[in-house]
Amino acid sequence: MLTGVAFMVVTAMVATLISARNMPVTEPEKANNLVTEQITVVARNLATPWEMAFLPNGEILVTERGGRLIKISPSEKKVIAEIQEVAAVGEGGLMGIALHPNFEENGWIYLDYTYRSDSGLINRVSRYRLVDDQLAEEKVVMDNIKGGNNHNGGRIEFGPDGLLYIATGDAGESGLAQDENSLNGKILRVGDDGSIPVNNPFGNAVYSLGHRNVQGLTWDDRGELWASEHGPSGSASGEDEINRIVAGGNYGWPIITGEQRREGLISPALQSGKNMTWAPAGIIFLDGRLYWAGLRGEAIYSAVIDNGRLTNLTRQYTIYGRLRAIRLYSGDIYVTTSNRDGRGLPREGDDKIIKIIPTPQK
């Protein structure tokens, strides 16, 4: 992570300029294979935004970790709901959001959140109907995912198969990641009502295992699933991962990390190495590349998909601080800052949603 005084001063000046003007940067920023024609602050003064989802009309639903669901439109920022059950403890709280593939017909949205139970912190995925900017008809889809101060996962996505994929963390108990009957340290796959697909590899909700803390899910143009995952922390930090996910795959945590290999375990398609920490969060696919947001890395990273391998790693957009959610809408990239999550340096107007309009270089 860059901590030089000069970098901090320049970063603060640029962030303040964008916040004050609330208009696109006029000079294009050239970054690797992209030319940024326009960078716009879409929303500001959010409280630790965790995830975004786009409504059919282009309005943005945003989860804040403290429990609020916000709607962002060109004319207003409106609180849709406050989920009273949410326990915003450590890395937990209101996290993932996903719209049902048939949202325009059924109005269903899905939320992943942490709550307190008699046995401690628990993560749950619930389905709601969005009616007149209000949430109604909560139905619990997946429950009793062990929570913790750290490693709650929380990203949820509908796949090309119409099924709901749920990323979970090991909740600080690494052994759970290797237990096929535990919901922790996994990628789960269920129907839109929580039912278990008949072709799930272990006969339960588990789709893949051996994960430490999956933070992002996306599919490429071949329908292959990719996931971003946090590597070890503390003195062994680094070795963050981007994984190509296959049904029934075991991704090794805590048995192997980084470049280590063992029969029956899957090593990452790309990892950051022992001396670099990305803390990768949301991830998207665009034009043959994966793009993922970096929290500790304070950047957007990208890599080219080449026959299942990842090459040409790049780091860009480093002037906004910690980045968490990243979404693609109508060809544009949207990213949230996470400078008010207790681990960043808040800047004027934080936290923000930033829109990036990319154009491939000739």
Q: Which residue has the tokens 């996306």?
A: 218
Q: Specify which of 10-14, 27-31, 122-126 reaches the highest per-range mean pLDDT.
A: 122-126
Residue corresponding to tokens 């062990």: 146
Q: Are 59 and 67 in contact (CB under 8 A)?
A: no
Q: How confident is the model at residue 237 (pLDDT cuts 50, 70, 90)?
A: confident
As given in the structure block, the two tokens for residue 68 are: 């609020």
Could you read off the pLDDT of 254-298 as tens digits, one per residue? 999 999 999 999 999 999 999 999 999 999 999 999 999 999 999
Torsion sign (Cα): 229, 230, 236, 238 = positive
Which pLDDT score is estimated for 233? 77
Q: What is the pLDDT of residues 69-96, one digit of tens each?
A: 999 999 899 999 999 999 999 999 999 9
The count of C-alpha atoms lying within 13 angstroms of the C-alpha of 71, restricted to the half-sphere facing its C-beta, is 17
**Which active-site residues does the annotation give?**
151
d(CA 18, CA 25): 7
Q: Dump the DSSP string for 144-171.
A: EEE--SS-----EEE-TTS-EEEE-B-T
Q: What's the pTM?
A: 0.90
Helix (H) or strand (E) segment spanning residue 21: helix 5-21
**pLDDT (tens digit per residue) in 191-218:** 999 999 999 999 999 999 999 999 999 9
